Amino acid sequence: MVDFSVPDDLKEICDGLLQFVDREVLTLEEANRDLLEHERNTFDETGRFVPEVQALRKQVRMKSAAAGFYTMFGAEELGGAGLGPLSAVYIHDRLNARYGPGHYLIQEVVIPSPFTNGLSPVLRHLRPELRDKLLPGIASGERTLCFGLSEPDAGSDVFAMRTRAVRDGDHWVLNGVKQWITNGPYADYAMVFAVTDPEQFAQRQGGVTGFLVDTASPGFDNSTVIRYMGHQGSEIGFLNLENVRVHESRVLGEVNGGFKIAIGGVNVGRLGLAAKCIGMSRWALEQAVEYAKIRKTFGKAIAEHQAIQFMLAECAMDIYAGKNMALNCAWKLEQGLPALKEISMVKAFCTEMGNRVMDRVIQVHGGMGLTNEMRFEEGYRFIRTLRIPDGTAEIQRRTIARQLLAGDIQL
């Protein structure tokens, strides 16, 4: 049986995290309100964070690292705290339930994505001498990473990858384009995956290798930002590689063994993403419940109207189902049990659940729900984006169906 009680030490860690955000991060946000509340000030004309915002984000990263939060999901062998999937679900849920959408100094800054930035599990595949050299800067938040797998024609279908790496003496020469790369425009190092054996790759038997590339390398361009969902800019962009030379010492793991490395941290990442949806949905429902008690129509609070009650109830049902799915899946992972279809179910359900909840909450608030003041429209846009990265809802359903048809029918 799954024990849903939360250990006291995990509660204390999360309490400390929320206190850190209240004390350090919200104070910075308040002091820089004009810079952060108006996107025309937050981003420059190219869609990049202006230098002042980049400096604030770095300041928060380094403070979070010094406090032990930035690296808490990193593997112990890399110097992290080694917190597992259950901890990730609990902490991301509480963090997002507390602060809701927005907050350019909280999302992906205080706690980075577990495989994109910070102490990414991909770093375990670095050669020891290089790892010893680079880890201090990465763990401190001084230096950042990005994860370069997706391409313009290779999102869900990674076997459409066109980026190539060709050996030239003790170097590899990389050419290609990566797209949808989180932190791509700002990273110091890029974990880039390229085809190194076209024959193996064509047979879908491997043939892909990972490289740790310095983004200051000649021929490497990460200047293009992708604006998305109504924002003036973003932290997502392109990586363009034109004859970029990478020394063989920067190969990640074994040559032609890059696929296994690339998916090594995806499971916990998908659970963390699902937990964000759970927490943000809880935040939204709490606002809707309070609003329903005070907003009056036809002489009584809208909470007394059955239509409103049903929407609130549907939200609660969705959140409860998603939260228990995520906790059960995280427990299976921590027990070392197979959970491939469960991860896909959690990712698909929770991201879609978040969309349903945010939509109903906007409806409960009526015209107020559409205003920037309530932050629901921003939450709606944010949660809508999460149905696509880390495997679309359709790809998750394909994975679930394939597992079922292969005999994995335990639920």
**228 shares its domain with 111:** no
Token look-up 């939509």 returns: 359
Given this model, what pLDDT does residue 265 score? 66
**Contact call for residues 242 and 218 (beta carbons, < 8 A):** no
Token look-up 């228990």 returns: 324
**Domain for residue 40, yes or no?**
yes
Rg of the chain in Å (alpha carbons): 22
**294 shares its domain with 213:** no
Domain range for 149: 145-257
The CATH number covering residue 311 comes to 1.20.140.10
Biggest alpha carbon–alpha carbon distance for the chain: 81
**Contact call for residues 325 and 349 (beta carbons, < 8 A):** yes
Count CB atoms within 10 A of the CB of residue 180: 18
**386 shares its domain with 274:** yes
**Domain for residue 410, yes or no?**
no
**Which of 238, 257, 276 is the C-terminal boundary of a domain?**
257
**Domain for residue 310, yes or no?**
yes
Amino acid at 87: S
254 half-sphere exposure, CB direction, 13 A CA radius: 6
What is the count of structural domains for the chain? 3
Given this model, what pLDDT does residue 154 score? 85
**203 shares its domain with 247:** yes
Q: Quote the CA–CA distance of 253 and 328 in Å, as a whole number.
A: 32
**Domain for residue 1, yes or no?**
no
Amino acid at 180: W
**Domain for residue 2, yes or no?**
no
> pLDDT digit of tens for each residue in the chain (411 aa)?
677 788 999 999 999 999 999 999 999 999 999 999 899 999 999 999 999 999 999 999 999 999 999 999 999 999 999 999 999 999 999 999 999 998 999 988 999 987 788 999 999 999 999 999 999 999 999 999 999 999 999 888 888 999 999 999 999 999 999 999 999 999 999 999 999 999 999 999 899 999 999 999 999 999 999 998 889 999 999 999 999 999 999 999 999 999 888 887 677 788 999 999 999 999 999 999 999 999 999 999 999 999 999 999 999 999 999 999 999 999 999 999 999 999 999 999 999 999 999 999 999 999 999 998 899 999 999 999 999 988 899 999 999 999 999 999 998
**Which of 194, 228, 257 is the C-terminal boundary of a domain?**
257
Given this model, what pLDDT does residue 169 score? 97
How many Å separate Cα 86 from the centre of its chain? 16
**Which of 257, 276, 305 is the C-terminal boundary of a domain?**
257
232: phi then psi, degrees, rounded to nearest 5: -75, -20
3-state secondary structure of 243: strand
